[in-house]
């Protein structure tokens, strides 16, 4: 059956079922339709399903127009999991958070596996895209297929292909190379044929475990290097050296150096979480992940360090933290997106709030409603800034008027190096 299924996925118009219509699943479903396939998007939230079917996208990387076009060309969105039985391939794109003790929370993946067990059919491909520890595909999806009465890699092909979504990035899902690893080479070949129809390029690896670990390496690499530069930033400050100048200088080397920049911490759905999947799996193997653990220690302390820098600047001006009005500029975890998941910016403001500062937030990208959800007073984009003793720039959205902030607020701490990149110099602006 394998060679026949490879040919089918490589040549025919097949139907892809997507479990989870969020930041990963919706762009994937839309990409399938844009490449001539049919897609059935399944989500347990009827509210989200109704929103999507009205042509309203809750995901920044898919515009309302793109969603409407996909709905007209072959995308169906439903809360009826039985509809997934119409699929030739099922792609699992559900959250994979950490639990309270920073252990992997696989409840969403297990729930998706139960759904697969009820709808899987002979000849199907089942691919997990949710980030997780090496071995999850074999531990959870393979038993689900077996319990449904099928032989994995003969009746049903099983693979892992990690999502590489970067909210707000110019590259779309279909433009990003796909790593694909099946539970055996047979499943890898079938999965690669399917993905090759909808993405620019496919990089097959020897196993699902290798693909799972590749995803964790990508973000662990970033977390470790961010931890390094965050520690270097603190050292540079103690030595009265600009870390931004140092990084720019080192980056002139045409080989052997990739610039990373400090910030108030790490945020989003990947970098703070993914290395912990690897660390957790390593503990099971009695292996110490020293780089991962050290980087996490540095990164999780950065919000407190940023808050301390705010306190120091206020003290230098003869002002207490307690009762002083401080403006937080930006609470998204990265610039130019309205995504505040795991945002270190929010942690900085919580630290200051805990010290008695009166916090308000300016973030025209995230929006006033979302700011209020976090319990902060929102500041309108055109609102006056003159009542604030200090501003701390936490997320450097392109729409921010940096000149206005530095002109109207007496003290500014720039945690992102935004003023330096913009070529702006103000005596009252200090970099992290």
**pLDDT for 110-164, tens place per residue?**
999 999 999 999 999 999 999 999 999 999 999 999 999 999 999 999 999 999 9
* 306 and 266 Cβ atoms separated by less than 8 Å: no
Would you state the pLDDT for residue 70?
A: 97
Whole-number Å distance between alpha carbons of 253 and 258: 9
**Alpha-carbon gap, residue 321 to 313, rounded angstroms:** 10
Q: Decide yes or no: CATH 3.40.50.620 for domain 2-206.
A: no
Neighbours of 315 (CB within 10 A): 11
The CATH number of the domain covering residues in 222-431: 3.40.50.720
Q: What are phi and psi of 181, to 5 degrees?
A: -135, 120
- 291 closest CA partner among 221, 350, 352: 221
Task: Spell out the domain ranges in the chain.
Answer: 2-206, 222-431
* C-alpha separations of 129 from 24, 96, 151, 195 in Å: 8, 10, 21, 12
Which residue from 359, 364, 349, 427 is spatially nearest to 396, judged by alpha carbons? Answer: 364
Q: What is the DSSP letter of 413?
A: E
Q: Does 2-206 match 222-431 in CATH topology?
A: yes
Task: Name, in order, each residue with C-beta under 8 angstroms of 150's C-beta and a sequence gap of 6 or more.
Answer: 120, 122, 156
pLDDT of residue 3: 86
Q: In the prediction, which pLDDT does 326 show?
A: 98
Of the listed 93, 112, 270, 273, which one is catalytic?
Answer: 270
Catalytic (active site) residue 93: no
Tens digit of each residue's pLDDT (9 = 90 or more) over 202-257: 999 999 999 999 999 999 999 999 999 999 999 999 999 999 999 999 999 999 99
Low-confidence ranges of the chain (pLDDT < 50): none
User: Across the strands, what pairs with 392?
Assistant: 328, 413
Provide the pairing of β-strand 178-182 with 157-160: antiparallel
d(CA 348, CA 189): 47
Report the alpha-carbon distance of residue 331 to residue 22 in Å, rounded. Answer: 21
């Amino acid at each position: 059956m394998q060679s026949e299924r490879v040919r089918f996925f490589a040549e025919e118009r097949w139907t892809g079922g997507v479990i989870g219509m969020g930041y990963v699943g919706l762009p994937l479903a839309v990409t399938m339709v844009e490449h001539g396939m049919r897609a059935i998007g399944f989500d347990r939230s009827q509210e989200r399903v109704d929103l999507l079917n009205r042509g309203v996208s809750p995901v920044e990387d898919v515009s309302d127009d793109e969603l409407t076009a996909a709905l007209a060309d072959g995308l169906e969105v439903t809360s009826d999991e039985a509809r997934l039985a119409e699929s030739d391939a099922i792609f699992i794109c559900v959250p994979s958070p950490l639990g309270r003790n920073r252990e992997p929370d696989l409840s969403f993946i297990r729930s998706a596996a139960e759904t697969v067990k009820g709808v899987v059919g002979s000849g199907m491909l089942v691919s997990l895209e949710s980030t997780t520890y090496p071995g999850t595909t074999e531990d959870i999806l393979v038993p689900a297929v077996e319990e449904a009465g099928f032989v994995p890699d003969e009746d049903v092909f099983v693979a892992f292909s990690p999502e590489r979504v970067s909210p707000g990035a110019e590259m779309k899902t279909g433009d990003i190379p796909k790593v694909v690893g099946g539970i055996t080479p047979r499943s890898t070949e079938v999965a690669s044929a399917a993905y090759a129809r909808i993405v620019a390029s496919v990089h097959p690896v020897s196993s699902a475990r290798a693909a799972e670990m590749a995803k964790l390496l990508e973000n662990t690499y970033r977390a470790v290097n961010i931890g390094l530069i965050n520690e270097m930033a603190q050292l540079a400050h103690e030595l009265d050296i600009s870390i931004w100048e140092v990084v720019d200088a080192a980056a002139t080397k045409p080989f052997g150096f990739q610039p990373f920049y400090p910030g108030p911490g790490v945020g989003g759905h990947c970098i703070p979480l993914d290395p912990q999947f690897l660390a957790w799996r390593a503990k099971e193997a009695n292996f110490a992940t020293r780089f991962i653990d050290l980087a996490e220690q540095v990164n999780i302390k950065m919000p407190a360090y940023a808050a301390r820098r705010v306190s120091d600047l206020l003290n230098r001006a003869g002002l207490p933290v307690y009762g002083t009005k401080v403006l937080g500029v930006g609470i998204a975890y990265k610039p130019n997106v309205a995504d505040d998941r795991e945002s270190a910016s929010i942690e900085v403001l919580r630290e200051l709030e805990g010290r008695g500062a009166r916090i308000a937030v300016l973030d025209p990208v995230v929006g006033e409603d979302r700011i209020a959800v976090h319990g902060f007073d929102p500041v309108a984009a055109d609102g006056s800034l003159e009542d604030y003793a200090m501003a701390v720039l936490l997320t450097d959205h392109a729409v921010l008027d940096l000149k206005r902030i530095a002109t109207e607020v007496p003290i500014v701490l720039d945690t992102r190096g935004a003023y330096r990149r913009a070529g702006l110099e103000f005596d009252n602006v200090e970099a992290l």
